[in-house]
Amino acid sequence: MTSQYAVELRDVVKKFITPEGNELSAVDHVNMRIQNGEFFSMLGSSGCGKTTSLRMIAGFEWPTEGEVYIEGKPMGRTPPFQRPVNTVFQHYALFQHLTVFQNVAFGLEMEGATNSEIATRVGRALEMVQLRGMDRRHPKQLSGGQQQRVALARALVKVPNVLLLDEPLGALDLKLRKEMQLELKSLQQQLGITFIYVTHDQEEALTMSDRIAVMSHGKVKQVGTPVEIYERPSSHFVADFIGESNFLDGKVTASSKKEATAFVPALKTAVTGIPVSAGIVKGEDVIVSIRPEKIGISDKRVRNTNSIRGKIANTIYIGSDTHVIVDALDTRLKVWEQNHVSHLDPKSFYTVGEDVWLVLKPENTLVLKKD
């Protein structure tokens, strides 16, 4: 009999006293429901409360208010060593005086496992993270990536129901990090364990997660799948935090349940048929968000579309894409064009000062409440 949720945070508040003696809510009335077997990420910049939330699940901190439930059981002040969760720490926190084998065996010894059982399980865990044959080394003799794997094996060998990961890839270089992201994801799918992953790297969160909680100033701003978070951000903050976007002031001139029409003064045009989030009313001042990769660019006017004239202000070639900055009417828009064709001829790219037409599709536009 397992509960519906692997971990649940109900109205959790964590207050700290700053060195100046002020009270600070690191986590401010947070509610989260994390499903069994889910890869769940908490995403936010430093100080948003993601690590504090994770530490409350692990039991290193206790909530000031509210309750953390693990598999339906309220945790209260249960110490970490009695919780069915294990943690992979940001800087690995490996025991330097023990070998790789002893590090991984530590948690099993605490369970009172027999020596032969320990040997088998540690061997299997090391194999899982591809560290076979390293068992007699000390952590100092390993590379950063290998230490990271030891930390992972040390936590996974306990077969926890929930694995907590606190920016585990933060110290690795980009290439290794990308490799480990995929490896972690496939490991999670293979084991079926719930992963709760804390990161400030949105790409990492988007790559690995089933669902993401975007956090800011101790509050959860939005919870959703990577697609939902990116394509349907619920607020200006989330739209700005995840990816890049063009934000324009607008006014709602007509609205139904699903769609709205907004007049954008900067473009001297009304965009119709925009998907809206709840609670937008006619006459409201809003922010219209357009993702740069969703704006079409052309040197000729395209018929039957919402087209706007513009002038190229700058172009930046970044390999896969060209980032084009276009001055259109009273505003400046970011437009990303994929480099479909391999070309060395500079004339094939847009040149500064060139006149172009921008194509805005209403369905690629979002109306957001002002924060």
CB 266 within 8 A of CB 226: no
Contacts (Cβ under 8 Å, ≥6 apart) of 306: 269, 271, 359, 360, 361, 362
Please, which residue, 93 or 176, has the CB nearer to other proteins?
93
Give me the least distance between CB of 51 and other proteins, in Å please: 12
Give me the least distance between CB of 330 and other proteins, in Å please: 52
> Which residue type is seen at 271?
V
Please, which residue, 164 or 367, has the CB nearer to other proteins?
164
Binder among 25, 37, 60, 243 for other proteins (CB under 8 A):
60
Residue with tokens 């000729």: 300
In Å, how far are 67, 235, 246, 305 from 360, measured between CA atoms? 47, 21, 12, 8
In degrees, to the nearest 5, what angle opens at C-alpha 304 toward C-alphas 301 and 305? Answer: 70
Contacts (Cβ under 8 Å, ≥6 apart) of 371: 235, 236, 237
Give me the least distance between CB of 168 and other proteins, in Å please: 13
> Which residue type is seen at 245?
S
Tokens of 68: 């953390």
Q: Verify binding: residue 62, other proteins, rule CB under 8 A.
A: no
> Which residue type is seen at 125?
A
Positions 150 through 209 that interact with other proteins (CB under 8 A): 154-155, 158
Positions 83 through 112 that interact with other proteins (CB under 8 A): 85-87, 89-91, 93-97, 106-107, 110-111
CA dihedral (47, 49, 53, 56) in degrees, to 10, reads 60
Positions 105 through 144 that interact with other proteins (CB under 8 A): 106-107, 110-111, 138, 140-141
Residue 339's CB is within 10 A of a number of other CB atoms, namely: 14
Give me the least distance between CB of 213 and other proteins, in Å please: 22
Q: Verify binding: residue 214, other proteins, rule CB under 8 A.
A: no
Stretch that binds other proteins, among 33-41, 53-61, 232-240, 245-253 (CB under 8 A): 53-61
Residues in contact with other proteins by the rule CB under 8 A: 58-60, 79-81, 85-87, 89-91, 93-97, 106-107, 110-111, 138, 140-141, 154-155, 158
